[in-house]
Structure 1
Amino acid sequence: MQVLSTSATIPYARQRGNFNYRTYFENQASIRRTHAQPLQQKFLPVLKPGQLCWQQNLERFLISNYSGCTYYLMSFLIFASGCVSNDLADINYDRKVERCKTRPLVSGEITPVQGWLFWAFIISLLIPLVLQLNKLCIALAAVEQVLWLAYPLMKRVTYWTPAFLGLVQSWGATLGWAAIKGNLNDVGIFLPVHIAGICWTMVYETIYAHQDKNEDEEAGVKSIALLFGDSTRTWLLGFATICIGSLMFAGYNAHMGWPFYLSMIPAFGHLLWQTYSVDLSNGFDCFSKFRTNKWFGSIVLAGMVLGRIVY
């Protein structure tokens, strides 16, 4: 494996971990890893339900407090809180991974107390947004925060941490549906979207995990890259297939128009391209492929919008 050098990854490491009060206002985009993970990977799971139920609930969707701006802001804050709590829990592990050694918590630039205070600050911004929603959404949002706090612990007990991450990150599909519809009756729509999100996460997080597989093995981290090993591409193909199949099933139940199904062709092609072109022994290439998932998200989102317009 080509190990990422510290000097080459200092900017990236700071983007992922720098939530110091002193630097917050200087680099707001970096503080929540907005450069480490593209917008579409954070925002798409909570936007999907709005597009799927657009036809029957357009007026309600437009006037709802859970509008597009609130969708983005909530997903942004939830993701940020999860990144902060993850780095706080992983201080000792990060000391053993070369590209993580420059993160402020590991280097001592900030203290764990400062980190938890910033996590509390993010939650204080999130609560007023959540309280605008119905009781079901408030309960789902509370569960999501518990899941985010539990996420860093998963790598201590299971190799399937990316699956748990997919469950958490795609929770917005269920939350968004409950916000717009007010119930969880249409299981045939929001649940396949959630499953698709989990499988999509398995694809890009497995590729991402191959960056650190050698160091993870030395540190005793249960990495999905170590579990799959030489069979990684076979697993990725399986997850990609389930992802697209689940999206199409949800689209069928939501009566999406033909552009949505047409968009599934380039979407699946993008996942196949990642699967068979990535050099799993090259950390830089793994991260590069991980970053391209913003295009997958864009394709699916465009397909949903056009699938509603044409319907």
Structure 2
Amino acid sequence: MASTTTHLQHVITSDKTTLKLNAAASLPAVPIPARKGGLLSSLPPSLVPYAELLRLHQPAGVYASLVPTLIGLFLAAASPTLTRSSTSRVSPLSLLTLSVTHTVGNTLLRGAACAYNDAIDAPYDRLVARCKSRPVARGAVTSLQAHIFALFVFGLWIVTLFTLPSPETVATPAALLVATMAIYPFCKRITHFPQLVLGVSLAFAQAVGYGSLGVSFSNMDLPTQIGLGCLYVSYVVHTMIYDTVYAHQDLEDDLKAGILSMAVLCHGRTKIVLSGLAAVEVGLLAATGWTLGFEGWSYWIGAVGGTAMALGTMVRLVRLDEPRDCRMWFARLLWWMGACVVGGLAGECWLRV
């Protein structure tokens, strides 16, 4: 965790000038623009910055963190290789209950991660047009307050884990998820691949999902571990795809501020890179289905075919030089891929006898 007492940081910009960032300086609070609708408009002004830290007004991020968890959950319910026998089934009520629990938990975890990220990234956020009005960057809350708030919300997430049927099989992947998430905010300072680190982190949520049904990766045979590994890497690659598209919103500001990302690295050839990553993702989803024994049409048409169609459509149509279009396709990728894979697995659950 970055120290809030650090006074100066230096960033080398693309034109070789040096910017001095005062990470600890307090800024005058920026008035919050009047909002005509949405959740934030119904809250007392003193609570608005904390709701913004949680990103309650941006539900797409909750969905992004929830999807890998639901993939793991429905995978365990659908695959005969991950359950005690080919005839065992998880009841629809149990799946619904666990889905609700994970939704609450992921909302808390994502909120804690955003608050932590805002506290760490405030000096950089002040240089990016889209981010400079965030609560810590504009001075509505201090970095210390954001850290304390993040720790409190993180504690609430821990409580939700203990309500799961098998918290013991969730503990290790949950710890790995949090550890890698803590590293992520620093990566844009040292590597062009923060999207890879984010994917490595979020994909651990798959193991939280199937772990909540008592499935432990370490207890699986080698072929099943290979299948789960393919699924894990497929979500790492998927995160790299959608977050690279998302990062193109801030490309010009990132180039000026010296912020690193795959969008900066691949600038001018991003669609070629995205096409290659899309092919890898679809191939890994197919390898997962083959290794874990999915023989029904639902997984192959929904998860594999649907994901291929969604990715292909995005690569063909997205206009990477238009921030609004990048954000639109970022959201579409989240919703479409999640619906395809989780829907395909849910169909496999229904088809099992």
- Interval containing the TM-score (normalised by the shorter chain): 0.7 to 0.9
Q: Is the 8 A contact 2:196 2:237 kept in 1?
A: yes
RMSD: 3.0
Secondary structure at the residue paired with 1:42? helix
Q: Which has the larger radius of gyration?
A: 2
Q: Is the 8 A contact 1:52 1:251 kept in 2?
A: no
Q: Is the 8 A contact 1:50 1:61 kept in 2?
A: no
2:172 aligns with 139
2:77 aligns with 54
1:99 aligns with 130
Q: Deviations over 1:274-311 (max 9, x none)?
A: 11211111111111111112122112221111123234
- Which segment drifts farther, 236-245 or 56-65? 56-65
1:169 aligned to 202, 214, 229, which one? 202
Q: Where do 4+ consecutive residues of structure 1 move more than 6 Å? A: none
How far off is 1:40 after superposition?
3.7
Partners of 2:56 and 2:261 in 1: CA distance: 21
1:199 aligned to 237, 250, 271, which one? 237
Does 2:248 align with 1:210?
A: yes
Q: Deviations over 1:219-264 (max 9, x none)?
A: 1111211111122111111111111221222222332211210122
Q: Is the 8 A contact 2:52 2:134 kept in 1?
A: no
Letter in 2 for 1:150: I
TM-score w.r.t. structure 1 length?
0.86
The residue correspondences of 1:75-86 to structure 2 (distance < 5 A) are 75-86=106-117
Relative to structure 1, the CA distance from residue 231 to residue 61 in structure 2 (aligned partners, 3 Å threshold; closer, same or farther) is: same
Q: Is the 8 A contact 1:131 1:138 kept in 2?
A: no
Partners of 1:183 and 1:34 in 2: CA distance: 35
| Aligned positions, number | 298
Q: Is the 8 A contact 1:236 1:275 kept in 2?
A: yes
Q: Deviations over 1:143-175 (max 9, x none)?
A: 221211110011111101001101111111122
- What residue ranges of structure 1 are gaps of 5+ in the alignment? 1-8
Partners of 1:43 and 1:209 in 2: CA distance: 21
Partners of 2:240 and 2:51 in 1: CA distance: 28
Relative to structure 1, the CA distance from residue 192 to residue 29 in structure 2 (aligned partners, 3 Å threshold; closer, same or farther) is: farther
The residue correspondences of 1:250-289 to structure 2 (distance < 5 A) are 250-256=288-294, 257-263=296-302, 264-289=304-329
Does 2:330 align with 1:296?
A: no
Relative to structure 1, the CA distance from residue 86 to residue 134 in structure 2 (aligned partners, 3 Å threshold; closer, same or farther) is: same
1:22 aligned to 42, 46, 56, which one? 46
Q: Is the 8 A contact 2:230 2:284 kept in 1?
A: yes
Partners of 1:87 and 1:160 in 2: CA distance: 19
How far off is 1:102 after superposition?
1.1
Letter in 2 for 1:115: A
Secondary structure at the residue paired with 1:68? helix
Partners of 2:122 and 2:269 in 1: CA distance: 30
How far off is 1:125 after superposition?
0.7
Q: Deviations over 1:61-82 (max 9, x none)?
A: 9659982222222222222211
Q: Deviations over 1:81-127 (max 9, x none)?
A: 11111111100000110111111111111111221121122022112
Q: Deviations over 1:43-67 (max 9, x none)?
A: 1101112222214353489659982
- What residue ranges of structure 2 are gaps of 5+ in the alignment? 1-32
1:6 aligns with none
Letter in 2 for 1:138: A
- Which segment drifts farther, 53-62 or 136-145? 53-62
Partners of 1:92 and 1:20 in 2: CA distance: 27
Q: Is the 8 A contact 1:15 1:32 kept in 2?
A: no
Q: Is the 8 A contact 1:10 1:99 kept in 2?
A: no
Relative to structure 1, the CA distance from residue 110 to residue 192 in structure 2 (aligned partners, 3 Å threshold; closer, same or farther) is: same
Q: Is the 8 A contact 1:52 1:254 kept in 2?
A: no
Larger helix percent: 1
TM-score w.r.t. structure 2 length?
0.76
Q: Is the 8 A contact 1:196 1:243 kept in 2?
A: yes
How far off is 1:29 after superposition?
8.5
Q: Is the 8 A contact 1:51 1:305 kept in 2?
A: yes
Q: Is the 8 A contact 2:53 2:115 kept in 1?
A: no
Partners of 2:56 and 2:229 in 1: CA distance: 28
